[in-house]
Amino acid sequence: MSILCFNNAVEEMQMGIPSLGFNSLKKLADEGHELSQLYVGCAYLLGHIPISETNPTLKFKVSKNMQKAINYLYKSAKQGNKDALHNLKELRKNTSLDDYITRRIT
Report if residue 104 sits inside a domain: no
Q: Is the pLDDT of residue 104 over 50?
A: no
Predicted confidence (pLDDT) per residue in 38-47, tens digit? 999 999 999 9
Span 7-42, pLDDT tens digits: 999 899 988 899 999 999 999 999 999 999 999 999
Number of domains in the chain: 1
Q: What does the pLDDT read at residue 73?
A: 96
Residue 105 lies in a domain: no
| Identity of the amino acid at 89 | K
| CB within 8 Å of 58: residues ≥ 6 apart | 50, 51, 52
pTM: 0.84
**Is residue 106 in some structural domain?**
no
Domain ranges, residue 89: 2-99
Q: Does the residue 90 lie in any domain?
A: yes
